[in-house]
Structure formats: C-alpha cells, structure tokens
Amino acid sequence: MNKRDGITAQFIRLLVFAGLGSLLLFATSRLAFRFALTAYVDQTNFIQRETARQLEEFQTFVTEENLSSKDVRPITDWVQKHNLTLLELYRDHVLVYSSFAPGREIKGEQDQRVPFYDWQPYATIHFADGDFEALLYCNTIRTYELLGTTVLLIFCLGLFLAVFLLGCRRIVRYICLLSDEIQAMEGGDLDHSITVQGSDELTTLASCLDSMRLTLRRQHQQEAETSAKVKNLITQMSHDLRTPLTTLLLYTEIVRCHKYQDEQQLQDYLAKIDRKARQIKHLSDNLFEYALVTRDSPVMLDQPASLSQIFEGPLAEMVDQLQQHGFICTLNLGSEDLSLTVYEPYIRRILDNITSNILKYADPAHPVSVTFVREEDDAGLAFANVTLSDTDSVESTKVGLVSIQTMMEKMHADSRAESDGRRFCITLLFPVNS
C-alpha cells in the first residue's frame, strides 16, 4: 500500500484543500464586498446622509435633556453609545468640546481660533447656553464592513466544515459498511463477501477480513465434511461389525451347546469362528488406523527425493510379504526417476494398508501388479489385483481406503480407487517437483 493513499494522507489533503479553498473564497469575497460597499457609498452619498441623521438625533437628545455645552459627561456618553468616531463643538470657529479628549478644556490661547474644516458636513446645534457648530465623524461604512466580514468568515468556516465532513463521509460510510459485514460474519454468514474498495488501510483490513472469512468457511466446510464422514463411517462400521458378530455368536452357541455331529464339523465351526474373529480384528485395526491419521497434526514433509529412493524399501518389503503368502507380483516402474516430496512414515503405513487389504481380499491365483503412472504434473504408482469371489469377505466400509486418502491429502497428494467387476486398482499420485 502506498503511503500517499493512506487515511492520514487523505485527511491531510482534505484539510489542506478545504482550508485553502475556504481561505481563498473568504479573501475574494471580502475584497468584492469592500469594493461593492465602497461603490455604493460613493454613488449614494451614504456617509453624508448618515452624518446628517446622527446630527439630528444629537439635536433631539440635547433638546430633550436641556443640555448646555458644559455638560461634557452626558454628551460623551451619547457619543460612546452611538459608536461615533469623533464629535467636535465649535463656537465662532473656536473649539469648545472634543470627544477625543472630553475631560480637558480645549480652547486656543486667549480664545484663539483653531482650524475649522468647513468642507466637512456640520450642523448648528442649539444648546441651553447658545448655538454651536457640530462636526461629526462617523465611520458607518466600517461598521457595515465589520458586519459583512463577520458574516463571510462564518460562512467560509461553515463551508470548510461542510467540505471536510463530506470528504470524510466516504470513509465513514465504508467503515459502517465493514461494521455491518463483520456483524453478519459474526452471526455466522460466511457466504457474503467483505467489500474491498480503495487502496488505504481500510482496504488492507477489508482484504484480510475477507481472507479470514474464506478460511473460516473452508474450515467449517471441512469440519462438516469430516463430521459427515465420521457419522457415515460409524453407521457402516456398526453394520459391518454386526454381521460377523452375529455369525460369530451363532457358531459359538453351536459349539457351546455341542450341536455338531462329529469332530470334523467341530473343526469347521472353529475355523469359521476364527475367520470371523479375524475379520472383526481387521475392521477394528482399520478403524484404529483411521483414528490415528485423522488425529495427527499437519505433517512436515521430508526433503525432495527420487521416486525409486522413496519406494525401494517399502516395495521390497511388500513384495516379500505377498510372495510369502503365495502371491505373484509384477513390477513395471518405468524409466523415469522423478523427484517427489513425501512423508516417509505415511508411505510405509499406506503400503502396509494396501498389503493388508491384498492379503485379506485379493485372489492369490491372479498376480498383483505395481505400475508407474504419470499424469501431467503428477506421478506415482498404481496397485492392481483381482478380488476373491467370496463376497461375504469383502469390506463394505472402505475405512482402509479412507485412511489412505487422508494420509495422501496431508502430503498434498491424491489417491484414486477404481473397481471393475472383480478387478480392483488403487492409484497413488504425488506432485512432481519442478
């Protein structure tokens, strides 16, 4: 993820753009407002009219209060109340009062006249002690300018906040969306994908959450499949154990009650009891093997080795054991000696399982073949034999095959069992190292 696309960088850019935009708008608007206000004042004589109005109000105040020019305090209070810049009173062009210094007596020496700016608007104010010329300086335009500036400042600040919040809205909406999807996932909905958009920290978080969702869904599916397999296996094992156990109990009852004709029939019953007991033992051994395989934690595969190096020892033991029981073995391992990655203890257990099944179910009158197999990027061995015609001895649960498939999956390999009439073949396929 590029740092320039991060949330912090986005917030900084948003603050800078919104701040600069609002500042530029404020400066431009304030300049335009001042220009428009100045043009309005110049065209309408606004200041002169406002000054005349203030002087009329001052005359009304003086008349109502019956003030004289010596009543400095109330005159000064009135000036301050109306936010006037300056009020000066003249008598015969002699300054007698100034709001700039109301507490001092402002007169020229020996009543010397001071400059009187007759170009400024003035009016005669009638006091109790005579008439005086009043000059009034009221900067009303500044009041309106301050008011307009305040309004523009508030507007631009509001615009800045609005732009910033609108910019943050996308991020906030995405966070709310992720929150809703996480709550759905927490409630068990693992089929709805997590929305991944953008290229910031939230995008990385959403991608990780979606990967976690897929992992959890895969684990739940595997657990459900495993649970279904176990339930199915228990059901089938119960049936397969019940059949030989029933037969075993029947023959045991016959022997116990001496319901046989002669010694030969007794030995025949004992042989059947032994065969059924061994069948039950074989089923229990396969079940125990399956329990061990499913209980094992993920295995650490061995270093890559050649196919001949991997299978040379286990195959030799397998052939020797089969030959001791009267089987004929044909080997066709080909000329390719490919590199495979396996877990050697599992290889031995798989071949032991295959050997046990051959000894139990294969017909010694037909040879057992071991053939090299190559399918695209996979390679391995195929074990084929012909089963006995006695269907009573055929295993229906296939728990041994399930154990083989489980061990192969833990080695990232695959097994395939095929049956065509009495011919049975199991193929072990491993990924070839490039």
Shared domain for 346 and 325, answered yes or no, is yes
Distances 295 to 153, 163, 292, 318, 357 between C-alpha atoms, Å = 73, 60, 5, 26, 22
pLDDT (tens digit per residue) in 16-57: 998 999 999 999 998 998 888 888 877 777 777 888 888 888
Shared domain for 338 and 429, answered yes or no, is yes
Shared domain for 319 and 429, answered yes or no, is yes
- What is the distance between the alpha carbons of residues 321 and 318, in angstroms, rounded to a whole number? 5
Shared domain for 159 and 33, answered yes or no, is yes
pLDDT band at 1 (very low <50, low <70, confident <90, very high): low
Shared domain for 71 and 9, answered yes or no, is no
Shared domain for 158 and 115, answered yes or no, is no
| pLDDT above 90 for 106 | no
Q: Which residue has the tokens 């279904």?
A: 228
Residue 105's domain spans which residues?
A: 46-138
**Is 204 among the domain residues?**
no
State both tokens at 356. Answer: 């046990």
Shared domain for 26 and 147, answered yes or no, is yes
The region of weakest confidence among 44-48, 188-192, 252-256, 271-275 is 44-48
Axis-axis angle for helices 399-410, 344-361 (nearest 10): 160
pLDDT (tens digit per residue) in 319-329: 999 999 999 99
End-of-domain residue from the set 295, 329, 344: 295
pLDDT (tens digit per residue) in 65-102: 899 888 889 998 898 887 777 888 888 888 888 888 76
End-of-domain residue from the set 112, 138, 164: 138
DSSP 196-245: --SSSHHHHHHHHHHHHHHHHHHHHHHHHHHHHHHHHHHHHHHHHHHHHH
Shared domain for 173 and 101, answered yes or no, is no
Compute how many other C-beta atoms are within 10 angstroms of the C-beta atom of residue 231.
10
341 and 378 in contact (C-beta within 8 Å)?
no
Shared domain for 125 and 90, answered yes or no, is yes
Q: Looking at residue 315, what is its pLDDT? A: 93
**Is 201 among the domain residues?**
no
| pLDDT above 80 for 6 | no
Does the global pTM surpass 0.75? no
pLDDT band at 372 (very low <50, low <70, confident <90, very high): very high
Q: Looking at residue 108, what is its pLDDT? A: 43
- What is the distance between the alpha carbons of residues 87 and 102, in angstroms, rounded to a whole number? 10
The pLDDT of 4-17, averaged and rounded, is: 81
Shared domain for 18 and 148, answered yes or no, is yes
Shared domain for 165 and 264, answered yes or no, is no
End-of-domain residue from the set 138, 163, 198: 138
**Is 211 among the domain residues?**
no
Closest CA relative to residue 297, chosen from 343, 229, 351: 343
**Is 212 among the domain residues?**
no
CATH number of the domain bearing residue 321: 3.30.565.10
CATH number of the domain bearing residue 230: 1.10.287.130
Phi, psi of 244 (to 5 degrees): -70, -30
**Is 56 among the domain residues?**
yes
**Is 210 among the domain residues?**
no
How many domains does the chain divide into?
4
pLDDT (tens digit per residue) in 374-410: 998 999 999 999 998 764 544 455 667 888 888 898 8
Residue 414 vs residue 87, higher pLDDT: 414
406 and 350 in contact (C-beta within 8 Å)?
no
| pLDDT above 90 for 117 | no
The pLDDT of 174-183, averaged and rounded, is: 88
Shared domain for 322 and 417, answered yes or no, is yes
